[in-house]
């Protein structure tokens, strides 16, 4: 099961798992994009389901549809997410609430409903988190909060299931070519529609998906990707004051938020 599988890392994961011969169920809010994805794989065991992961009932229906189609669940990858770009002084509270509902509660809902099947099969729960789950990023306060929450919640779940044979893992891709920045919410909670980041210098979604699959096979605890991502986590852990200044310089130019 892969949430948010119609584009970006989610789609790359759907492609990769189908090529490996897996039965795949994925969801998204846009039926047309899901249908286009399904049309790419005629005859393949791919279930598409329209769902908004911020809604508990939609998540429950997605789990039930998957079990009805395939009988059980072995792996759940909580990939669906949304970012934001706005200063705390300017952002509306509903924008932060929307980010939390999708990124955090979407992970909680899907995991909660899928967990009985996954634990029975000693399978794997994955949360696609972010470097922002280790280091708060300016202009992305709600996004950082949601990813810190995802990491902490999955760490607690992992500890609870330590003797069950079930693996729980969180993945922090770093900067990856993905649509998440283009649909990042602005201060008013509307899609920004563009990204100031240079996509050419980022890890591709396909490469990211391969790293995630290998980590699932090895039943890793966590996965931090890209040199910049690993450096950021290291610096923030051992040199937090210096990390404050470096992150500030990265995201601001002449006192203005630029990235």
Catalytic residue numbers read: 143
Burial of 110 (0-12, 13-18, 19+ CB in 10 A): buried
What residues have CB less than 8 Å from 70, skipping those under 6 apart?
23, 25, 45, 47
Rounded-to-integer distance, Cα 205 and Cα 130, Å: 14
Rounded-to-integer distance, Cα 85 and Cα 186, Å: 5
What residues have CB less than 8 Å from 74, skipping those under 6 apart?
118, 121, 123, 124
What sign has the CA pseudo-torsion 93, 96, 101, 104?
A: negative
What residues have CB less than 8 Å from 36, skipping those under 6 apart?
6
Name residue 3's beta-bridge partners: 27
- Taking a C-beta distance cutoff of 8 angstroms, is the pair 62, 25 a contact? yes
Rounded-to-integer distance, Cα 34 and Cα 39, Å: 9
What sign has the CA pseudo-torsion 202, 79, 5, 46?
A: positive
């Amino acid at each position: 099961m892969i949430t948010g599988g119609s584009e970006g890392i989610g789609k790359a994961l759907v492609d990769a798992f189908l090529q490996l011969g897996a039965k795949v169920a994925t969801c998204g809010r846009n039926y047309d994009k899901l249908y286009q994805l399904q049309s790419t794989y005629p005859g393949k065991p791919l279930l598409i389901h329209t769902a908004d992961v911020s809604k508990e009932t939609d998540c429950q229906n997605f789990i039930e549809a998957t079990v009805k189609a395939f009988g059980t669940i072995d792996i759940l990858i909580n990939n669906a997410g949304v970012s934001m770009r706005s200063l705390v002084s300017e952002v509306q509270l509903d924008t932060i609430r929307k980010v939390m509902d999708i990124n955090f509660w979407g992970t909680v809902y899907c995991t909660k409903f899928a967990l009985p099947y996954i634990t029975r099969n000693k399978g794997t729960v994955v949360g696609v988190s972010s470097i922002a789950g280790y280091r708060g990023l300016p202009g992305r306060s709600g996004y950082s909060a949601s990813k810190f929450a995802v990491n902490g919640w999955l760490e607690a779940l992992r500890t609870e299931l330590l003797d069950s044979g079930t693996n729980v893992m969180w993945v922090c891709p770093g900067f990856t070519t993905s649509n998440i920045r283009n649909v990042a919410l602005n201060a008013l909670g509307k899609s920004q529609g563009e990204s100031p980041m240079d996509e050419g210098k980022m890890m591709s979604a396909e490469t990211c998906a391969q790293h995630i699959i290998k980590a699932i096979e090895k039943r890793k605890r966590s996965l931090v990707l890209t040199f910049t991502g690993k450096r950021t986590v290291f610096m923030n852990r051992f040199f937090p004051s210096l990390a404050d200044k470096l992150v500030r310089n990265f995201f601001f130019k002449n006192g203005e938020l630029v990235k």
